[in-house]
Chains A and B, each alone.
Chain A
């Protein structure tokens, strides 16, 4: 009888008495939360894809040659000669987002967003390095990498703020913009704003965890699982940016 129950326990993951997913409750719930959050973000991207393609494609894209939009003179001439930004054609994002902080009068298409992507991926790397250090219970390393992650997140937020300021300074508003369909700027503000809010909450969470690491809370607890959980959230924010970047600037 006793051996019988023992073999059942071994055989079935869902027989009770142990975690069928082999992760802790907190981590599993973080995964479920991230899944639901992914649904929210995808609804925004679905809306973007639908609205973007319910408008005409950028006017002159059919006549441009590859890499034409990288040239400053070509773009300036094209935008000035022809009325490029019109109501029923979606604008080409690289002609709108071509500014870079401290560099004036130059046409640098998508350079700044690429830099933002780079910063966020790098902060994701430092986060996973913090998690890795947590496995070895190396407190000083965890705190070092957590601090780097926080700085990366703050830098990203700064970039986002600059991007918004420039865009608003050019006359873009939630209900209208000088570049084309109203929904172009509206979707930009809503999607990047929602993502930026997630980054902001991520930075706040990271700061809380960082303080706890410094206080030695997790050292006393014997494991750094909280760093892993917040790490999951932080990587998710990075993942969402990958798709926001793909949809907003490429599709």
Chain B
């Protein structure tokens, strides 16, 4: 208990409850948008579709991490030490999808 009280209180907005529910509806809306786009672009095979879904995932992650996990209201140093490594991870995921596509191409020439 002692060491908790030393910490300066990071600010929590007064209307936290309404913010939480707003975030919930946003997340739900994005999930529905995800599914609608999926069925709309069934015949589309371009890589852009994947980047769109990953981007939508990142947007949802922003709301979950920012509001639910309280990251928006933490110190910037903590925020960056968690977020920056994850940016590289998202990049890596996208990179390996492209790499897989080239592997697919190589199977044709086998």
Residues of chain A having any CB pair with chain B under 8 Å = 13, 18-25, 28, 31, 34-35, 38-39, 42, 45-47, 49-57, 61-70, 88, 92, 94, 109-110, 114, 117-118, 121-122, 124-125, 127-129, 131-132, 135, 221-223, 225, 228, 231-232, 235-236, 238-239, 242-243, 245-246, 249-251
**Quick check: A125 and B24 within 8 Å, CB to CB?**
yes
Interface of A (DSSP majority class)? helix
Chain B contacts for A238, CB-based, 8 A: 64, 68
**Quick check: B35 and A21 within 8 Å, CB to CB?**
no
**Quick check: B86 and A38 within 8 Å, CB to CB?**
yes
Chain A contacts for B60, CB-based, 8 A: 242
Q: Can you add 17 more A-B contacts, CB < 8 Å, to A28-B78, A64-B43, A223-B4? A: A23-B7, A23-B75, A31-B82, A35-B85, A38-B86, A38-B89, A47-B96, A50-B100, A53-B98, A56-B104, A61-B45, A69-B39, A242-B57, A250-B34, A251-B50, A251-B53, A251-B54
**Quick check: A223 and B1 within 8 Å, CB to CB?**
yes
- Partner among B17, B40, B85 whose Cβ is within 8 Å of the Cβ of A66: B40
**Quick check: A225 and B92 within 8 Å, CB to CB?**
no
**Quick check: A57 and B107 within 8 Å, CB to CB?**
no
Chain A contacts for B100, CB-based, 8 A: 49-54
Q: Known contacts A49-B96, A54-B104; is A21 also within 8 Å of B61 by CB? A: no
**Quick check: B69 and A232 within 8 Å, CB to CB?**
yes
Q: Known contacts A35-B85, A251-B50; is A54 also within 8 Å of B103 by CB? A: yes
**Quick check: A22 and B10 within 8 Å, CB to CB?**
yes
A239 to B3, CA, bound (A): 30
A35, A50, A53, A221 — most chain B CB neighbours (10 Å): A53
Chain A contacts for B54, CB-based, 8 A: 246, 251
- Partner among A64, A114, A228, A242 whose Cβ is within 8 Å of the Cβ of B35: A114
Please list 26 pairs of residues, one from A and one from B, whose beta carbons are closer than 8 Å in the complex, sorted by A's number: A22-B10, A23-B7, A24-B3, A28-B78, A34-B82, A35-B85, A35-B86, A47-B96, A49-B100, A54-B100, A54-B107, A56-B104, A65-B42, A124-B64, A125-B20, A125-B68, A129-B20, A132-B16, A132-B17, A132-B20, A231-B68, A235-B64, A236-B69, A238-B68, A243-B61, A251-B50
Q: Known contacts A223-B1, A235-B64; is A23 also within 8 Å of B43 by CB? A: no
A239 to B96, CA, bound (A): 21
Chain A contacts for B38, CB-based, 8 A: 94, 110, 249-250
A46 to B98, CA, bound (A): 11
Which residues in chain B, 70-97, are within 8 Å of chain A measured between CB atoms? 70, 74-75, 77-78, 82, 85-86, 89, 92-94, 96-97
A45 to B53, CA, bound (A): 14
Q: Known contacts A18-B6, A52-B100, A250-B34; is A39 also within 8 Å of B107 by CB? A: no
**Quick check: B101 and A53 within 8 Å, CB to CB?**
yes
**Quick check: B27 and A121 within 8 Å, CB to CB?**
yes
Chain B, residues 4-33, CB within 8 Å of chain A (1/0): the string is 101110101000110011011001100100
- Partner among B34, B64, B77, B85 whose Cβ is within 8 Å of the Cβ of A21: B77
Report the minimal beta-carbon distance from A164 to chain B, rounded to whole angstroms: 22
Q: Known contacts A31-B78, A54-B104; is A39 also within 8 Å of B89 by CB? A: yes
Report the minimal beta-carbon distance from B12 to chain A, rounded to whole angstroms: 7
**Quick check: B53 and A21 within 8 Å, CB to CB?**
no
**Quick check: A124 and B68 within 8 Å, CB to CB?**
yes
